[in-house]
């Protein structure tokens, strides 16, 4: 986490702190951050209340496509693939 203190990890932290949910897919595509769970773990250690739940891959793709273009292969079962979504809970 120290290597990302002011870089990629900071962008994901700010995203979470703003109240927006994020998945690992979004962290990779939008911020270039490959290990979102490390950021979440560090934030929890610092006292942040970060919740999580399972969401379909399709939901994450829809959110990514608000800022970028992500087109999964046509044969990818986007409704069956499940990702973990994290968000800051007050």
The structure tokens listed for 36 are 């979102």
Domain extent, residue 55, equals 2-88
Positions of the chain with pLDDT under 70 = 1-6
pTM: 0.86
> How far does the chain reach from its first CA to its final CA, in angstroms?
23
Name the domain count of the chain.
Answer: 1
Closest CA to 80 of 58, 62, 60, 65: 58
**pLDDT tens per residue, range 11-37:** 999 999 999 999 999 999 999 999 999
State the Cα–Cα distance between residues 54 and 56, nearest whole angstrom. Answer: 7
């Amino acid at each position: 986490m120290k290597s990302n203190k002011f870089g990629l990890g900071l962008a994901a932290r700010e995203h979470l702190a703003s109240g927006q949910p994020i998945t690992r897919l979004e962290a990779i595509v939008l911020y270039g951050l490959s290990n979102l769970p490390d950021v979440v773990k560090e934030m929890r250690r610092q006292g942040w209340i970060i919740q999580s739940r399972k969401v379909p891959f399709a939901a994450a793709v829809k959110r990514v496509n608000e800022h970028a273009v992500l087109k999964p292969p046509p044969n990818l079962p986007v409704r069956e693939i499940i990702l973990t979504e994290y968000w800051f809970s007050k």
